[in-house]
Structure 1
Amino acid sequence: MKVASDKPFEIVYSLFNHEFLGILFESFAIQLDEKGRLSFAYQNISYQNANEFGEKIDDTDLELIRLMDSMQQEAVVKKFNAKNQKPKEFLRKVFDTANPTQSNKEVQKLIEGRLEITRSRILEKIKQKRLFEMGNDGNPVWKEISIMPEKASVLFHFRRNEDNTHYFPTIKYQNEKLDWQYKGSYLICHQPAWLVVDSRLFSFEKDVDGKKLMPFLNKKFIVIPKKVEESYYKKFVTQLVASFDVFAKGFEIKVEHSKPQPVLYLGDLPGNPTVDMFGRKISEEEEEKMVFDLRFSYGDYTFRADQAKPSNVELERDGDDYTFFKVVRDLSKEGFYGDFLKNKGLPVKHGRHSMKKREAYDWIINHRPELDDLGVRIQQTSNEKGKKYFIGSAKINLSIKEKIDWFDVEATVTFGNHEISFTKFRKLLLKGKTEIELPNNEIAIIPKSWFTNYGEIFSFMEEGESQVGKFKLKKHHIALAQELEKGNLIQLSLSERLQKLRDFATIDDYPLSDYFKGKLRPYQKAGYNWMRFLNEYNFGGCLADDMGLGKTVQTLALLAMEKERSEGTTSLLVMPTSLIYNWQLEARKFTPNLKILIYTGTQRIKDCSQFGRYDLILTSYGITRLDIDIMRDFYFNYIILDESQAIKNPDSIISKAVVQLKSNHKLILTGTPVENGTMDLWSQMNFINRGLLGGQSAFKKQFLLPIEKKSDKDKIIKLNVMIKPFVLRRLKSQVATDLPEKVVNVQYSTMTDAQEQAYEEVKNYYREKIISEMAMPGMSQKSLTLLRGLMQLRQIANHPKMADQNYSGDSGKLEDITHMIQATVSEGHKVLIFSQFVRHLGIVKSYLEEKNIPFAYLDGATRDRQAQVNAFQEDPEVQVFLISLKAGGVGLNLTKAEYVFLLDPWWNPAVESQAIDRAHRIGQQNKVIIYKFIARNTVEEKIMALQERKMALAGELISTEESFIKSLSQEDISALLA
């Protein structure tokens, strides 16, 4: 019968018993009569037509209707009815009551579980609605059921006597006993229980399971025979006592209410693998892990954190007497402890957590004070290998005191009450051992933080020759000691003067010598003061100022003072051959009183005895390498290396040669201390302060690998700390505020069609070749192929004629270059043109000759180097200077230039910066404008993008560059050849 929605009606819900599915619910709209009573006119509502009844249906009604729709037999069987049988027929086979062996128990269980969940959700939402029992005639409002607003309570009774135990429940509602047995009562839902008694619907406190009430609907009690009582008590009664209220006669129930005592159990993780994923055998120390297991003690009983229950019950039997011990757990407090540990990096709230042994020990050491404050105990479980680990407090006390030429080191290491020999402990730590056996046979784990904090300083200590167990530290490790003192890791005693090395800006101001005939800018005077201060303490130094800031004049000021203070001594200045003339000119200008010997050329007198007649010897790296057997016999006052990156490779002949030279003091000058990698730094620092960064192999392990392979920021910081007092680096942006503006532009050029075709052919060839070589073991062949391929591509991007003499086409980049040369020259400006390819300069040179444009030229083969510089600087007709990047990278002062053209990008951006700095330096009066020519859609464009990403390491040390090609990943290679 249809219900008119424009007349009064009411939404109600009705339950009925399905022959297979049990109790189901349906939703109805019931028409109201003229007196507002429910009539016999009704209509079933589904989720699809609910909107027809508009305002009468709220959100709760919609959810109830949706849930009830999901209970109807058509919806229930849909998921399981693969053969698309009629719902009634399908259910008859699944619930075959006539022949139970043919029924499908598995599907029955799934259907009943799903329906039980739905009933529970409906009953939770239906509390404010009207609920009825459906009549046999289908009348949805046959009998109304009142939904009781409060929850009833259940008390389970046990009465034990000599023969058996009686068990029965009683129900109370609003403190009144409910008469519910033998009344036709029935359960609508079991989990949790919803019980209908006399048309009243009851729910229960503590979510009582309906299956515990069902046996008593028509039975007063259950009898448990004597012979099974102990088993029944253990399996059933303990669970009942744990979860519900129980009244007992004949046995005792003791309830304990107390606060949980958290205990962290520490044990080994069994079954650790002995090989890693590559089949490499794992060492015992790598292999072993520790397991943390959080438990809570309540009196004599302990429970796992992941077995969180409101209460736990243990049964104890004493003769014929039974006692149930019920522990009521404080889950809120347990959760607090679990959350605390999780926030501290130990997620044990829901189970155990494993850590590497050393990490576990570090965690305990780091958090022990907080654990103690909260009352968290740590207890070890039995160990399969019989080991017992020390989990007490561990301390290391390091005291460093200044002596005349070194620091004395005093150290004690304690684990609890046990003091360990520092000599033995230091050896273990330097070998990377993580365990140490204590006198009581306990095993102590050396904290990981000790390796991090003390690893370097321990490695630099030297054992005293006269006193066993006494150690000393060279004074040039002062910065490392000061850093540890700052972190409260050591006690450091320094003189007031040595304290100044924390910041060279506080160094005293030293007078200049009368032998110096120049004027130093303020930052140059600070550099001079710094070198003088290092001189007093016999420390070597690295003056690493930016190009153009006057490293030469600062050094000459120092040498002038050395002549005044140490008359009769001789210093040695070693440099690239191309710089000797420049040093000679600068010395003549600023220190005319210095007696200088130019020790170069085939006519040089190979006799070191002559050196004593001079204040300063100027020579080259090449001569030093050849004449080391002669030069090492002379004791110099200062040995100064200019462009000291020449000794960046410690295994090179020149590096091995210069370390044989003897002197009172050492100084190096360079704008680029790091060109290829971190080892460059070691070689130069080791020259000025032997042992500052440890031995070569130790440095590689301690710093190079962590920095270059893992980008370890902590190691970069620590390395910076160690070298900082001995490296002075100022950038032009920091100190030379009077320099004119520098503008850098990128000029993108488009390849011509013929040029692009040549480029694509070479690119495709090398891409296929490199991909095929990727599968081959080893890197040398791949790197060689890559370098060869990239070289050809870069040449073609400039001009294909550089790679193929038979090429007859033109170049897009050359067109742009020649156009800009014409524009620049016609406006009267001077321009430096750099290229790393001499052949490229040759092509531009041919153009200039063809157009009769005067120019200066410089590459590695140029003999009259200074003449070319003078022509450009002094002749107004010479407006163009062609320079190869390597030949013109150092030693040139070209302040007349207003423009710099970089014809091709170099792997190392710092080298480009050096080229720019030939013009943008002290003395320049013009704005310097730089143009970088880049061939679009070529490897040049991709090199620029990669340059930015490959600068991080060197930038964080003391330089501005690092090896580009060594750092290329497979993804980088693919991008370059895309």
Structure 2
Amino acid sequence: MKNPIAKTETKTGLFLKPSRLKNRWSPIEVLFVVRTERGIDYAKDQLSAEVIDSSFAYLTPDQKQVLIQLGDESLTQLINQLTKTHARQKAGTSLNAYIERSFLRQVHQLFIQLQSIELDTRWYHQAVNPATGNHLTAGCTLHKKQPIISFRVSRSDDGYLHLQSLVTIDNITSPLEHFKREYFFLQQDKDYFLLAYQDYQTLQWLAANDPSAYAGDAAGFSEHILNRLIADYQVEMDNIGDKQSIKVEPENAVYLSEISGSFLMLTPRWNYDGFWVEGKWQHTEEFNRNGEIYVVHRNAEKEKAFHDYLQSMHPNFSRQLNGIFNLPFAEAKKKHWFLKTYHKLLDENVELLGMEFLQQFRYSQFQAETSMRIVKTAGSEIHLELKVTFGTEEISLIELQKLLLASQKSLLLKDHSIAVLNDEWLMKYSTLIKHGRISKNEITVPQWIWLALGEGNNDTSGRSEGTVIPPEWWLRWMQWSQDGEVVYRVPATVKAALRPYQQKGFEWMCLLSEIDAGACLADDMGLGKTLQTICFLSWLKDSTVNKSGGAKFIIVCPASLLHNWRRELEKFTEGLIPFVYHSNTRSMESFYSSGADVLITSYGTLRSDLDKLGAVQWEAAILDESHTIKNPSAQITRAVYHLKAKARVALSGTPVMNNTFDLYSQLQFLVPGMFGSAEFFRKEYAHPIDREQNEEKINALRKLTAPFILRRTKQQVATDLPPKTEMVLWCEMGPEQKELYEETKSQIRDSLFLHIKNEGLNKSKLSILQGMQRLRQICAAPALLNEGSLRNTPSVKAEVLVDELQHNLRKNKVLVFSQFKGMLKMIGDACSRAGLKYYHFDGETPPAKRSELVEQFQDPANDVNIFLISLKAGNTGLTLTAADYVFLVDPWWNTAVQQQAIDRAYRIGQTKNVFAYQMICKDSIEEKIVELQQKKRQLSDALVTEDEGFLKQLNEDDLKYLFS
């Protein structure tokens, strides 16, 4: 009996194998899938004209032609043609490199064409059987979606930079390593994607120029890797060197100018958070502001939209394709085109720049005439009717505000003349208009702005009703400003005799509270901010409005200061009962039932229990160490803003910690709304001051904040404090430590100055900092380098310090500060070996434990005389007046932090002479840093006294001296 004929079914598809490009073959073959009763067999053939005609008869001629060009035969002909072309060239790359580049580009273009035509055929590829590990043929998909390549730069815990390539498909971003890349193909499982050819070239370039070679060199990383990428790609930079990334929506502007005495030119510009860009779009632009590098990421879509909007404003502009638009003067004035465009742009919130430099448009003969009257007062806000005219033309307040916020002093009138706002007018009205909310011809401002502008502005011309700040209050304010005048008596319940400056601080808080304004007491640490605040709370409780009782106060402070506030309240007054609201057993019912007046809580607890604490109407809210809320977007800051309190006080010896913007959140708490939005404050004050050191903005902000920030230094007011002696305790490194220091210094110096020569000073700052840090660690203790061979190298500072503690200071209480936790541990171990008892805390010590240790150290009967404290953990809020000796083991350039450490002991309540020692290794970088500090130190009274960053002031000559 004959066997029946076996049934055979054949399907045709395309087999994708990118690895064939290595041999300059086609990455596509024809695949025949033969299905029989015995199973499935596969056969392959080339993409020749004959095979395509027979296997893909249903394709159009154009579709067939693309496949033919992708066949091995056609590509071989391409290579031959490229070889002949290269032979005709007289110079250029090698034959192999030329063919490689041109061959791959041609194949990529053919694949772009292939994606653009609709091929009704299946794709296959070689996959791996997950069960057996064997290769098998399976279906796949070649997608039309093109991946978007971007990059991210991050810094590891050990300080090394890492570049990560990212792939975005359908708004989903994944690391490149999640894909398999062969040439310009990306594969993920059975899905294939085609890279843009430029992206392929970039990834090839990165593979040949390993970014990890610059991982420890921020300047080199920026110069050799990033500068190549940021021109064409989105690069997220978490933290590299001195570069700060600016990613914001651009604000549109037009710069007006005249060319050839005949044309008005309009140049579109964009403001990115204070950085101006114009011209041809590129991904990023870099700016240098006083040694800081800012990378602005430009928004192509927004910029193009504004460019197109400008181009649509006049028919002539459609033919002008260079990004800048111009019109003859006569055309600009025809049918009032320029005037209409001027107002239309202002209505669209477009800044108009350069008005003052236009000459074709004459200046107006009129000066600004201004009338203002109070319409009404509502709470702490004043509604003003304000009218500004030039001749018979009244100026829109909205337009006027936009011009002033853009720092413009000129405006265009209906007769095409340019009106100028003179300095006298600007001084009197610009702050009101910039800080106000405008509705038609009415402007609303917080009443406190009159205090900042001065008493003279309290009398508004032509007002018909309402008051701003009562005249009797102004009399008390003037009385307070006179020496010796007493405006308010300290309540009898306060058990303390106030010093004159403390009396003034107490009265100042009382005065501001009477007009519902907050107060930031920014006295030097140790001058009694706590006592002045207790006097103020006692006065509030005893004031007429509170005689009925029931007033409740809240104090929010770092957790480490909770019990310090409780003790101070118990010590200085019997009229205020404190209640610490903290820990897991806290209860509002317990607070109310206790009869307490003052609830003391931490910032963290306030954030957690905002629903309870935010529901109470407090008579006063006190923020201690108020710089804690310097970030307006932080949860703690938002929680503080929700507190309901009639009187508000912020206490901080350092309200400006890092930059001017630190003030904003604190001022927003104290005088809500007076400084506008965070964005307004940044643009109007913080950026011009911090980036440009703009004197005009510094003076304007100082004038506005002066009534609400009171700062006195010890040098000014605490003349009755016992003497404080600051000295240097010189240390001579031993031979082994000195040899290591000199060897390391030589290595760093040679490497660093080569780096500066090649990359420039600004791009070398990270390397400078690392070099300084390494030498400082050797000065303190070579073991801090964490190199096994140095573990037992002697530390002269540890030896000198323990010798002083053991033989000269056994009966004195001593504070020892170090920036390095490892150094504190080393000193602690040495103390233990010498039989010296000590306390120790750093940033990891719980707040309750810190408070306990401080209380024990302060106890006169306690015989533990040594307190080891990390510099950062010990620079706020601690009172350690039991100590009369302070040692700074490893002083650094930040003199403010060092002074804060010393002021733990040198503060009101100290009765003994205080001796503070900087431990300096002779003939080392430490000695040179101190000398440069004295040479370069500048006291700035711009806003609140603050130190300039020492590192930013160093020039190359200084560095040569430091590393000499």
Provide TM-score, normalisation by structure 1. 0.56
The aligned runs of 1:487-502 (5 Å cut-off) are: 495-500=470-475, 501=477
Contact 1:830/1:899, CA 8 A, preserved across alignment: yes
Checking the alignment, whether the CA contact within 8 Å between 1:830 and 1:896 is kept in structure 2 is: yes
RMSD of equivalent CA atoms:
4.4
Equivalent position to 2:447, from 467, 475, 487: 475
How far the C-alpha of 1:792 sits from its partner, in A, is 3.4
Opposite residue 570 of structure 2, the aligned amino acid is R
User: Is this contact kept in 1: 2:564–2:851, CA < 8 A?
Assistant: no
| Separation in 1, partners of 2:473, 2:376 | 11
**Pair 1:844 & 2:827 matched:** yes
Q: Equivalent residue for 1:923?
A: 909
| 2:569 corresponds to | 587
- Rate the CA distance shift 1:279–1:616 in 2: closer, same or farther, 3 A: closer
1:103-122 equivalences under 5 Å are none
How far, CA to CA, are the matches of 1:779 and 1:607 in structure 2?
61
Change (3 A) 1:649 1:906: farther
- The equivalent position to 2:481 in structure 1, one of 505, 517, 524, is 505
1:89 is matched with which residue? none
1:525 matched to 2:503? The reply is: yes
Confirm whether residue 548 of structure 1 aligns to residue 526 of structure 2: yes
Shift of 1:616: 1.2
In the other structure, the counterpart of 2:798 is 814
Whether the aligned pair in 2 keeps the contact of 1:824 and 1:831 (CA below 8 Å) is: no
Secondary structure of the residue aligned to 2:501 is: helix
Using the TM superposition, give the Cα deviation of residue 679 of structure 1 relative to its aligned residue in structure 2, in angstroms: 1.0
Residue 813 of structure 2 corresponds to residue 830 of structure 1:
yes
SS at match of 1:683: helix
What's the CA shift string for 1:396-428, capped at 9, x where partnerless? 436465965444544443435544344433333
Distance, in Å, in 2 between the alignment partners of 1:534 and 1:929 is 39
Residues 150-299 of structure 1 aligned to structure 2 (within 5 Å):
270=261, 280-281=278-279
Mark the CA change 1:585 to 1:844 in structure 2 (over 3 Å): closer, same or farther.
same
Structure 1 position 866, deviation (Å): 3.1
Question: Can you list the C-alpha shifts for 1:817-859, whole angstroms capped at 9, x where unaligned?
Answer: 3444345326x44332222222212222222222223434333
Following superposition, the deviation at residue 779 of structure 1 comes to 13
Whether the 8 Å CA contact 2:435–2:445 is kept in 1: the answer is: yes
Distance change in 2, residues 1:428/1:915 (3 Å):
closer
Please tell me whether residue 642 in structure 1 is matched to residue 624 in structure 2.
yes
Q: Give the equivalent residue in structure 2 for 1:802.
A: 784
**Cα displacement (A) at 1:472:** 2.9
**CA, structure 1 residues 809+891, in 2 after alignment: closer, same or farther (shift >3 Å)?**
same
- Distance in 2 (alpha carbons) for counterparts of 1:829 and 1:609: 41
Q: Do the aligned partners of residues 854 and 495 (structure 1) sit closer, same or farther apart at CA in structure 2, a change above 3 Å counting?
A: same
1:766-816 CA distance string (max 9 Å, x none)? 667777888999999977666555443332221111122521222333344
* Paired residue type of 1:527: G
Q: 1:887 to 1:610 in 2, by over 3 A?
A: same
Instruction: Spell out, residue by residue over 1:279-304, the C-alpha distance to the aligned partner (whole angstroms, 9 max, x if none).
Output: 944999x999xxxxxxxxxxxxxxxx
Match of 1:858 among 841, 847, 871: 841
Name the CA distance, whole Å, in 1 between partners of 2:512 and 2:445.
Answer: 18
Q: Secondary structure at the match of 2:579?
A: strand
Which residue identity is paired with 1:852? G
Displacement of 1:484: 8.1
Supply the distance in 2 between the matched residues of 1:677 and 1:487 (Cα, whole angstroms): 35
**Which of the residues 553, 569, 573 maps onto 1:571?**
553
2:946 corresponds to 1:960: yes
Q: 1:582-661 residue pairs with structure 2 within 5 A?
A: 582-605=564-587, 610=592, 614-661=596-643
Contact 1:677 1:963 survives alignment (8 Å): no
Secondary structure of the residue aligned to 2:650 is strand
Map 1:743-892 onto structure 2 (within 5 A).
743-759=725-741, 788-804=770-786, 806=788, 807=790, 808-822=792-806, 824-825=808-809, 828-862=811-845, 863=849, 865-867=851-853, 869-871=855-857, 873-875=859-861, 877-892=863-878
Please say which structure displays the higher CA radius of gyration: 1
Distance of 2:946 and 2:574 partners within structure 1:
35
| Matches of 1:782 and 1:630, distance apart in 2 | 51
**Alignment map for 1:24-43 (pairs within 5 Å):** none
What SS does structure 2 have at the residue aligned with 1:956? coil
Mapped to 2, the partners of 1:788 and 1:611 lie a distance apart of: 57
- 1:397 corresponds in structure 2 to 370
- Which residue number in structure 1 is paired with residue 655 of structure 2? 673
Distance, in Å, in 2 between the alignment partners of 1:966 and 1:715 is: 22
Deviations 1:488-536 (A, max 9, x none): 9999986423435467425862233344333322322222211111111
Q: Matched residue of 1:874: which SS?
A: coil
1:50-449 superposed matches below 5 A = 270=261, 280-281=278-279, 387-397=360-370, 399=372, 404=377, 405-416=380-391, 418-433=393-408, 435-445=410-420
Q: What are the ranges of 5 or more consecutive residues in structure 1 without an aligned counterpart?
A: 1-265, 289-355, 362-382
Per the alignment, in what secondary structure is the counterpart of residue 733 of structure 2? Answer: coil
In the TM superposition, what is the alpha-carbon distance from 1:627 to its structure 2 partner?
Answer: 2.3
The aligned counterpart of 2:37 is none
Q: 1:757 to 1:749 in 2, by over 3 A?
A: same
Maintained 8 Å contact 1:515/1:561: no
CA shift at 1:963, angstroms? 5.5
Give the letter for the 1:727 counterpart. I
Shift of 1:594: 2.6
Judged with a 3 Å threshold, the aligned counterparts in structure 2 of structure 1 residues 777 and 682 are, in CA distance, closer, same or farther, namely: farther
Q: What is the CA–CA distance in structure 1 between the aligned matches of 2:642 and 2:954, rounded to whole Å?
A: 36
- Secondary structure, counterpart of 1:847 in structure 2: helix
Distance 2:764 2:456 in 1: 44
Deviations 1:251-301 (A, max 9, x none): xxxxxxxxxxxxxxx9976499999999944999x999xxxxxxxxxxxxx
Q: Give the Cα separation in 2 of the matches to 1:868 and 1:440.
A: 74
Cα distance change of structure 1 residues 888 and 789 upon mapping to structure 2, 3 Å threshold:
same
Residues 521 and 710 in structure 2, CA contact (< 8 A), matched pair in contact too: yes
Aligned-pair CA distance for 1:584: 0.9
Provide the identity percentage: 33
Correspondence for 2:708 = 726
Task: Kindly indicate whether the alpha-carbon contact (under 8 Å) linking 2:383 and 2:444 is maintained by their aligned counterparts in 1.
Answer: yes
Instruction: Determine the C-alpha separation between the residues in 2 that align with 1:781 and 1:626.
Output: 43
Give the superposition deviation at 1:900: 1.5
Q: Does the 8 Å contact 1:707/1:953 carry over to 2?
A: no
Deviation, 1:571, is 1.3
Contact 1:742 1:929 in 2 (8 A): yes
Higher relative contact order (CA 8 A, sep 6+): 2
Matched, 1:458 2:433: yes
- Inter-partner Cα distance in structure 1 for 2:638 and 2:950: 26
Tell me the distance in 1 between the aligned counterparts of 2:590 and 2:729.
Answer: 54
Q: Is the 8 A contact 2:858 2:881 kept in 1?
A: no
C-alpha distance in 2 between matches for 1:974 and 1:937: 14
The code of the aligned residue for 1:897 comes to A
Calculate the TM-score normalised by the size of structure 2.
0.57
Superposition deviation, residue 554 in structure 1: 1.5
Distance change in 2, residues 1:493/1:864 (3 Å):
closer
The whole-number CA distance in structure 2 between the counterparts of 1:767 and 1:578 is 43
